[in-house]
């Protein structure tokens, strides 16, 4: 291992005043977070640099929030790299002051993204309460004026979350509510996981020996042969694990045959193993067969885990409990909502194999390690939280490669949540007779997977009492107070898929329109309402009136009207009796909608409209624009509501009509 690189730092003030401190040296280029081992080594040496007396491993562990065993292992590695740098005494460890520190290496030029990530990591992961301005200049190799410019640019990104960096007496503070800080951290993690965190293209790049396209085709054909549903997340999870298994076996790293148990293997698993064995020229020993069977059977029923006892039987009660605790700990520390219903099965199976590898003193090599560390630093930090937990409670040392696999599990679940957020959350009520519950469940998801998720499957109506859902599929009649309900025949052959699709779309449309009621108080205001009583009003006149109202309420700047007219010249925003004008830029001071209603009509190019909704969008609400626009189009596609709205004389009447159609 390469010897550590130490860097000097200004001796005036500590860079921030709360534990843990920023290291005064670095094992990695500044702006890029190194792996957990390097970071702990830095902090160990930093703590010993400040202490004239020896520090025990217990005390160091308390200060760095790791186990004593971790401290001892890392000190051993430090001394292997720098012999006798840290001396062990009867009272604890002490830094050998006679040992010269290496000359600092030059740090390469850094991008804004790296510097932004570095500062964000300090406040949100290292939990710094403040940073010393001059020391941060040293850390990032920036001048005072350049640091000021960097802070200003960082604040532009923080502003969307109502956060900001403030500098007082050369000390930098992060200002904002705890709620907004948590919102920022959560959204940052979601963004890191966005965009196919693990997909086939990435697997093809990092596992060139494995024919990923063949795996996909084979899995798809066999699942279809058995009329078996597996959702996108379960499919990706299974594809990843099978790729890893085949890569390990091809490279001579199969499980050792220490477990001679012969268990019944699912027919799907039998066929997959036989097909892969022939194609890749590999053999699956009994333990590998068992591992494949657990992965496949778990992911096939991914959204309908029958009961916890089955999972306990597969992974054991200790790992089952551990997985629960770790998901809770990551959710608590990083303010996430990792879903146990979807993450518990794959993560507990992963832990089972991880514990086995630990006992055999083997480890998986992860070709995505560097990509995950550099592109998804906070997700990797979530995984480090898990490795620390395993180290503290089970004395298991997890390699960076294995840590990256844990990050992939977290990222995949976050990505699944982002995909599922627009789907209808459904429940299935179906007495389980001759396995028809499973058949109906699979049939619904095979045909409507892009629109629905079904996390709740029950046999009796009383089991729905503590469940939340937006649509209920049921094979038995239920009271009307159950909300949106689709009554299904008890046999798949009798299902009218076209009718089911139509009813699902009706509920989806209603869900899309709920954004209007959700954000109505925030975006709509009586001060932005205008009743046009003229008989010959024209587009530009109405736009000037509405822009004046928005300007008076400090929503827009003076050039907004020009941008709206430029958009109208490109293409009219009128359709039918309504117009929804807007600017192509999202640079308004606040987001809001100005309303004009004209019983007589307004000449809008070649059309005549009766309702105008002028939208002003602030950049921080840009993610809402598409949903808001689609909701408005959907709402006003109903001719009956237009006839009612054009008769409204006041903002209150307009509001009552909107809510009556969207609630």
- As a three-state string, the secondary structure of 407-454 is HHHHHHHHHHHHHHCCCEEEEEECCCCCCHHHHHHHHHHHHHCCCEEE
Q: Rounded to the nearest 10 degrees, how much is the dihedral formed by the CA atoms of 260, 262, 267, 270?
A: 30
- What are the tens digits of pLDDT across the range 1-51? 333 332 223 223 333 333 233 222 333 333 333 344 456 777 788 888 878
For the chain, give the percent of residues with pLDDT over 90. Answer: 21
Domain 516-662 homologous superfamily, CATH: Mannitol-specific EII; Chain A (3.40.930.10)
Per-residue pLDDT, averaged over 516-528, amounts to: 87
pLDDT at 65 over 80: no
Residues 6+ apart with CB under 8 A from 232: 416, 419, 449
pLDDT band at 412 (very low <50, low <70, confident <90, very high): confident
- Helix 400-420 and helix 340-359, axial crossing angle in degrees, nearest 10: 170
Provide the token pair at 436.
């028809």
Give the burial class of 450: count Cβ atoms within 10 A of its Cβ; 0-12 exposed, 13-18 middle, 19 or more buried. exposed
Residue 420 pLDDT: 75
Domain 424-495 grouped into CATH 3.40.50 = yes
Residue 312 pLDDT: 83
Q: Are 60 and 93 in contact (CB under 8 A)?
A: yes
pLDDT at 116 over 90: no
pLDDT band at 231 (very low <50, low <70, confident <90, very high): low
Per-residue pLDDT, averaged over 108-112, amounts to: 62
**Within this chain, domains 424-495 and 516-662 share the same CATH topology:** no
For the chain, give the percent of residues with pLDDT over 70. Answer: 84
Give the length of the chain: 663
Q: Give the H/E segment covering residue 480.
A: none
Q: Which residue has the higher pLDDT, 336 or 406?
A: 406
pLDDT at 363 over 90: no
Q: What is the DSSP letter of 605?
A: T
Cis peptide before 20 (omega within 30 of 0): yes
Residue 658 pLDDT: 87
Residues 6+ apart with CB under 8 A from 219: 235, 238, 239, 242, 272
Provide the token pair at 588.
């308004």
Per-residue pLDDT, averaged over 403-432, amounts to: 84
Closest CA to 303 of 442, 496, 489, 101: 442
pLDDT at 306 over 60: no
Cα 43 from chain centroid? 29
- What are the tens digits of pLDDT across the range 244-280? 788 878 877 666 655 545 567 888 899 999 999 999 9
Fold of 36-168: Arc Repressor Mutant, subunit A (1.10.10)
Residues 6+ apart with CB under 8 A from 637: none
pLDDT at 531 over 90: yes
CA distances from 83 to 98, 341, 366 (A): 12, 49, 31
Give the chain's end-to-end CA distance (angstroms, integer). 63
Residues 6+ apart with CB under 8 A from 604: 538, 539, 572, 574, 579
Give the burial class of 535: count Cβ atoms within 10 A of its Cβ; 0-12 exposed, 13-18 middle, 19 or more buried. exposed
Q: Where are the alpha helices (DSSP H) in 159-231?
A: 178-193, 200-206, 212-225
Residue 253 pLDDT: 66
Per-residue pLDDT, averaged over 313-334, amounts to: 89
pLDDT at 411 over 80: yes
Beta strand pairing call for 574-575 and 578-579:
antiparallel
- In the chain, domain spans: 36-168, 424-495, 516-662
Return mean pLDDT, the chain: 80
């Amino acid at each position: 291992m390469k010897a550590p690189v130490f860097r000097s730092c200004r001796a005036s003030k500590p860079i921030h005043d709360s534990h843990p401190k920023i290291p005064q040296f670095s094992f990695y280029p500044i702006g890029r977070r190194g792996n957990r081992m390097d970071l702990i080594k830095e902090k160990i040496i930093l703590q010993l640099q400040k202490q004239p007396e020896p520090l025990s491993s217990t005390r160091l562990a308390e200060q760095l929030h790791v186990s004593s065993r971790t401290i001892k292992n890392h000190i051993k590695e430090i001394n292997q790299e720098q012999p006798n740098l840290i001396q062990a005494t009867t009272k604890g460890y002490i830094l050998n002051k006679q040992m010269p520190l290496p000359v600092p290496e030059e740090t390469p030029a850094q991008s804004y993204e790296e510097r932004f990530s570095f500062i964000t990591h300090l406040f949100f992961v290292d939990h710094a309460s403040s940073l010393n301005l001059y020391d941060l200049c040293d850390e990032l190799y920036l001048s005072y004026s350049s640091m000021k410019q960097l802070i200003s640019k960082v604040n532009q990104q923080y502003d969307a979350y109502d956060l900001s960096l403030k500098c007082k007496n050369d000390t930098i503070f992060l200002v904002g509510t705890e709620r907004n800080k948590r919102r920022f951290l959560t959204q940052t993690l979601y963004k890191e996981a966005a965009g196919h965190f693990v997909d086939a293209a990435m697997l093809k790049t990092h596992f060139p020996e494995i024919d990923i396209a063949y795996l996909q085709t084979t899995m798809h054909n066999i699942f279809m042969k058995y009329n078996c549903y597996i959702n996108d997340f379960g499919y990706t999870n299974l594809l990843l694990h099978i790729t890893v298994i085949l890569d390990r076996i091809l490279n001579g790293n199969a499980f050792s045959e220490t477990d001679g148990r012969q268990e019944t293997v699912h027919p799907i698993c039998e066929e997959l193993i036989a097909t892969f064995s022939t194609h890749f020229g590999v053999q699956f020993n009994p333990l590998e067969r068992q591992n494949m069977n657990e992965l496949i059977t778990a992911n096939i029923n991914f959204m309908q885990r029958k009961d916890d006892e089955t999972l306990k039987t597969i992974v054991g009660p200790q790992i089952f409990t551990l997985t629960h605790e770790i998901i809770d700990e990551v959710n608590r520390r990083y303010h996430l909502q990792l879903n146990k219903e979807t993450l518990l099965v794959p993560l507990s199976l992963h832990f089972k194999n991880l514990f086995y590898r630990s006992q055999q003193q083997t480890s998986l090599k992860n070709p995505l390690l560097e990509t995950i560390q550099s592109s998804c630093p906070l997700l990797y930090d979530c995984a480090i939280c898990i490795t620390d937990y395993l180290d503290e409670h089970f004395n298991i040392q997890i390699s960076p490669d294995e840590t990256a696999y844990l990050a992939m599990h977290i990222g995949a679940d976050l990505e699944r949540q982002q995909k599922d957020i627009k789907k209808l959350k459904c429940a299935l009520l179906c007495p389980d007779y001759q396995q028809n519950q499973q058949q109906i469940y699979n049939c619904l998801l095979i045909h409507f997977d892009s629109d629905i998720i079904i996390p709740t499957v029950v046999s009796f109506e009383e089991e729905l009492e503590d469940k939340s859902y937006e649509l209920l599929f049921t094979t038995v009649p239920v009271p009307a107070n159950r909300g949106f309900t689709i009554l299904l025949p008890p046999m798949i052959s009798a299902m009218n898929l076209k009718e089911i699709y139509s009813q699902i779309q009706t509920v989806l449309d209603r869900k899309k329109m709920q954004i209007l009621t959700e954000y109505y108080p925030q975006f709509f205001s009586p001060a932005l309402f205008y009743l046009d009583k003229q008989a010959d009003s024209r587009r530009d006149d109405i736009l000037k009136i509405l822009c004046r109202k928005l300007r008076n309420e400090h929503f827009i700047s003076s050039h907004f009207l020009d941008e709206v007219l430029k958009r109208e010249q490109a293409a009219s925003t009128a359709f039918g009796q309504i117009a929804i004008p807007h600017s192509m830029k999202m640079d308004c001071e606040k987001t809001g909608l100005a309303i004009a209603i004209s019983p007589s009509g307004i000449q809008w190019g070649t059309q005549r409209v009766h309702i105008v909704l002028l939208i002003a969008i602030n950049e921080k609400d840009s993610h809402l624009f598409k949903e808001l626009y689609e909701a408005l189009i959907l709402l006003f596609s109903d001719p009956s509501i237009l006839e009612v709205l054009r008769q409204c004389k006041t903002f209150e009447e307009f509001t009552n009509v909107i809510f009556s159609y969207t609630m």
